[in-house]
Amino acid sequence: MNYDVLSTLFVGIDVSSLTNTVCAIDFQNNKLLDFDTKNNRIGAEYIAEAISNCLVSNNLDYVVIALEATSFYSTHIANFLSTNKKLLPFKPLVYQLNPKTTANYKKTFVDIDKTDHLDAYVIADFARCGKISSSPWRGSQFLALQRLTRHRFHLVH
């Protein structure tokens, strides 16, 4: 961890094909953001603006954004948020999480329902508790390597 957790905003995003549900909490588990937006460029810009405003208004210095790796639906938002100019001053760390991991973490909550808002909260809390063991998203590197290996596979066959 290269950031001060006490001055960090932890954002969980429940990604689906049509919408992104966002929940943001601080280290003391205060819910600072909780909203839905479309899973498109306008929605992504709204998320970045809301996170940036939240960081400034709550005097926070860093942001950790976690979302489940859901096929290709989460790739674009992860790439957008990790390189967004409004978020770069806050040293964003964006993580794509294995859905099995967050589902198992959710089981530790007693009597919690299955809703997108609660899922986004659980993802944010997973990040807040320091449970992330994967590396931060490096979109351009990942996408370049993916294209290269798929092209090689095509040429070989």
pLDDT tens digits, 126-142: 999 988 877 777 666 66
CATH number at residue 60: 3.30.420.40
| Other C-beta atoms lying within 10 Å of the C-beta of residue 126 | 23
Q: Which domain holds residue 71?
A: 5-156
Give bridge partners of residue 97 from the DSSP assignment: 68
Q: What's the number of domains the chain is made of?
A: 1
Contact, 95 vs 134, CB < 8 A? yes
Better-scored residue on pLDDT, 139 or 153: 153
pLDDT value, residue 6:
93
pLDDT value, residue 154:
81
Give bridge partners of residue 14 from the DSSP assignment: 21
Whole-angstrom distance, CA of residue 142 vs CA of residue 115: 30
| Other C-beta atoms lying within 10 Å of the C-beta of residue 46 | 16
